[in-house]
DNA sequence: AATCAATTTAAACACTTGTTTCAATCACTT
DNA sequence: AAGTGATTGAAACAAGTGTTTAAATTGATT
């Protein structure tokens, strides 16, 4: 007679220890090596947990990955209010100059969030990986993270250039700004080699942010 | 009594059939799914070849990947003269306006080379993959492809803005331009979803090229 | 203290991976 | 036509994958 086990309801979080240890390990390893290159035995070792625990608590490795992503951008969204406040303040002031300062800050904050190496670094790595090498989890990442952040940027661009069509023109300007920033994260190994540097320093980061802001604002001014 | 087989000298290309069929299949599959997600059995099926042939002709899967990359950017470099001619013509004319037109063409050509879906598309995919997810083969890709192409772009930027320091300022401008272009290739799935499109059309490509050129040239003009 | 479900465990499962083996076959020279 | 070395082929290999099993253990409730 086979006993059928029903996994616990995630929201109850009973015996959260193993579950959260697993999520922590997953965030670390998935961010470091990607989901394909991370085996459930690696995960189990890192979390100091039996291999079966992964399927017991999450049903499958893929589901654990999804859950990890969910947790990652749930945490990342808590940084969003800062960006949101930025945009709302600029909108309240209403001037083109206010939009410019907000864009400068937006770029600086965005670049920082891409590189500051701690928890948010792992989150960014996870999402960057999804973008260039998508899994079925990509849709969630777009809806809950990229789209809202992109909307803030579009709003700032629209305020800086009220003459642009919000539907057809503004999006391209927003992509140009994000593209410059992401480039340094997505092709970091190449850029470091071209610049003959070992690693990204905070001085370089400042320099880069200032350049991207100057470049983009120059492009935005008529 | 084991017979020891010595693989044929690559430069002799004796019985090139199997070897080249394998390279062709590898180029296709590695570009499509990446080296990690492509098994040697997938490769053997695609090339209509026995699995053992891979190790017989290339020693290992990793070596086949390296050889494929080598072949890819050897072929890609043959497109370089076009870019080179672009830069030399601009330099010959010498005016800022000439640099602007050359930059416009450069961006257009570069975007095309990133997306036109044929042989060069696979080469670009292979190299883009190396950039965001490097293997030991990255160094060769940088030296033989990225660096020279980047130098042409820097030269055009320097001609358009003679006041900029070639060592400290020009590189950032070049990266801003390349970054905008690559963004559309590296995060293509995300961008298509944000734009609510199924696939990249040549009309979109033109539109994008025109925008990036306008944006960048506006940023470059004082 | 006994009961009973929730959890943990080691082992096995079925499958895929890259690589190797070795006999069969092929192309070519003597 | 026989002999020889290069190539091919089917099968086996060892190691690794995600998942499932069923017995052992735990922890709380009756």
Higher pLDDT, A71 or A175: A175
pLDDT score for B7: 42
- Report the SS3 class of residue A49: coil
Same domain assignment for residues A64 and A88: no
Find the angle CA(B13)-CA(B16)-CA(B21) to the nearest 5 degrees.
135
Q: Is A8 domain-assigned?
A: no
Same domain assignment for residues A121 and A201: yes
Choosing among A183, A197, A222, which should be mutated to test the B contact, i.e. which has the most B CBs within 10 A? A183
Identify the domain boundary among A52, A71, A90.
A71
Question: Would you place residue A16 in the very low, low, confident or very high pLDDT band (cuts 50, 70, 90)?
Answer: low
Q: Give the CA dihedral A107, A112, A114, A116, nearest 10 degrees.
A: 180
Same domain assignment for residues A132 and A54: no
Same domain assignment for residues A177 and A121: yes
> Does B8 reach chain A within 8 Å, measured CB to CB?
no
Judged against a pLDDT cut of 70, whether residue B50 lies above it is answered with yes
CATH number of the domain that residue B50 is part of: 1.10.10.60
The DSSP output letter for A50 is: -
Judged against a pLDDT cut of 50, whether residue B3 lies above it is answered with no
State how many domains chain B has: 2
Say yes or no for a CB contact (<8 Å) between A176 and B212: yes
* Bases of strand C lying below 7 A from some protein CB: 6-12, 16-24
CATH number of the domain that residue B137 is part of: 1.10.357.10
Q: Which residue has the tokens 């540097």?
A: A197
> Does B150 reach chain A within 8 Å, measured CB to CB?
yes
Give me the count of residues in chain A: 222
Rg of chain A taking only CA atoms, in angstroms: 21
B146-160: string of b/e by CB count within 10 Å (b at 16+)?
A: beebbebbbbbbbbb
Mean pLDDT of B147-168: 94
Mean pLDDT of A180-203: 90
> A138-167, pLDDT tens digit by residue?
887 888 888 888 999 999 999 999 999 999
Identify the domain boundary among A26, A50, A71.
A71
Q: Is A202 domain-assigned?
A: yes
Q: How far apart are CA A68 and CA B106, in angstroms?
A: 41
pLDDT score for A185: 87
Residue A82 Cα to chain centre, angstroms = 15
pLDDT score for A48: 95
Same domain assignment for residues B164 and B99: yes
Print the domain residue range for B216.
Answer: 75-220
Q: How many Å from the N-terminal Cα to the C-terminal Cα in chain A?
A: 77
The DSSP output letter for B79 is: G
Q: Is B201 domain-assigned?
A: yes
Q: Is A4 domain-assigned?
A: no
* Bases of strand D lying below 7 A from some protein CB: 6-12, 16-24
pLDDT score for B16: 54
Mean pLDDT of A180-201: 90
Phi, psi of B163, deg, nearest 5 = -75, -20
Say yes or no for a CB contact (<8 Å) between B131 and A195: no
> B57-101, pLDDT tens digit by residue?
999 999 999 999 988 888 877 777 777 888 888 889 989 999 999
Quick count: other Cβ atoms within 10 Å of Cβ B123? Answer: 24
Task: Report which of B136, B145, B118 is spatially closest to residue B35, judged by C-alpha positions.
Answer: B136
Question: Would you place residue A10 in the very low, low, confident or very high pLDDT band (cuts 50, 70, 90)?
Answer: very low
Q: Which residue of B has its CA nearest to A141?
A: B190
Angle between helix B61-76 and helix B40-47 axes, rounded to 10 deg? 60
Quick count: other Cβ atoms within 10 Å of Cβ B165? Answer: 9
Same domain assignment for residues B99 and B166: yes
Q: Which residue of B has its CA nearest to A145?
A: B190
Question: Would you place residue A23 in the very low, low, confident or very high pLDDT band (cuts 50, 70, 90)?
Answer: very high
Question: Would you place residue A125 in the very low, low, confident or very high pLDDT band (cuts 50, 70, 90)?
Answer: confident
Average pLDDT over chain B, rounded to an integer: 86
Average pLDDT over chain A, rounded to an integer: 87
Same domain assignment for residues A185 and A96: yes
Choosing among A30, A176, A197, which should be mutated to test the B contact, i.e. which has the most B CBs within 10 A? A176
Same domain assignment for residues B49 and B133: no
pLDDT score for A141: 82
pLDDT score for A57: 97
Say yes or no for a CB contact (<8 Å) between B183 and A184: no
> Does A133 reach chain B within 8 Å, measured CB to CB?
yes
Same domain assignment for residues A25 and A114: no
Mean pLDDT of A185-204: 89
> Does A55 reach chain B within 8 Å, measured CB to CB?
no
Q: Which residue of A has its CA nearest to B142?
A: A190
> B90-132, pLDDT tens digit by residue?
889 989 999 999 999 999 998 988 887 677 778 888 887 788 7
Q: How far apart are CA B94 and CA B86, in angstroms?
A: 12
Burial class (CB in 10 A: 0-12, 13-18, 19+), A85: exposed
Cβ-Cβ contacts under 8 Å for B210 (sequence gap 6 or more):
none
Question: Would you place residue B33 in the very low, low, confident or very high pLDDT band (cuts 50, 70, 90)?
Answer: confident
Same domain assignment for residues A124 and A32: no
Higher pLDDT, A117 or B28: B28
Same domain assignment for residues B88 and B191: yes
DSSP A189-205: HHHHHHTT-SS--HHHH
pLDDT score for A12: 39
pLDDT score for A117: 61
Judged against a pLDDT cut of 70, whether residue A3 lies above it is answered with no
Same domain assignment for residues A106 and A154: yes
Q: Which residue has the tokens 């001037």?
A: A95
> A36-82, pLDDT tens digit by residue?
999 999 999 999 999 999 999 999 999 999 999 988 888 877 777 77
Q: Is B65 domain-assigned?
A: no
């Amino acid at each position: 007679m086979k006993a059928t086990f029903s996994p616990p309801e995630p929201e109850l979080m009973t015996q959260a220890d193993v579950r959260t240890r697993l999520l922590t390990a997953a965030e670390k390893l998935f961010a470091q090596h990607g989901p394909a290159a991370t085996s459930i035995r690696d995960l189990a070792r890192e979390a100091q947990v039996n291999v079966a625990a992964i399927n017991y608590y999450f049903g499958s490795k893929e589901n654990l990955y999804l859950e990890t992503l969910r947790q990652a951008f749930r945490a990342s969204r808590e940084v969003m209010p800062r960006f949101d406040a930025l945009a709302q303040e600029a909108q309240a002031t209403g001037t083109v100059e206010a939009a410019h300062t907000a864009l400068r800050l937006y770029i600086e904050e965005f670049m920082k969030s891409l590189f500051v190496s701690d928890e948010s670094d792992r989150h960014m790595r996870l999402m960057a990986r999804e973008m260039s090498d998508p899994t079925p989890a990509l849709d969630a990442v777009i809806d809950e993270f990229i789209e809202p952040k992109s909307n803030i940027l579009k709003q700032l661009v629209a305020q800086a250039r009220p003459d642009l069509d919000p539907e057809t023109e503004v999006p391209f300007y927003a992509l140009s700004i994000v593209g410059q920033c992401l480039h340094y994260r997505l092709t970091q190994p190449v850029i470091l080699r071209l610049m003959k540097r070992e690693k990204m320093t905070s001085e370089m980061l400042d320099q880069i942010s200032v350049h991207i802001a100057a470049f983009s604002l120059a492009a935005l001014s008529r």
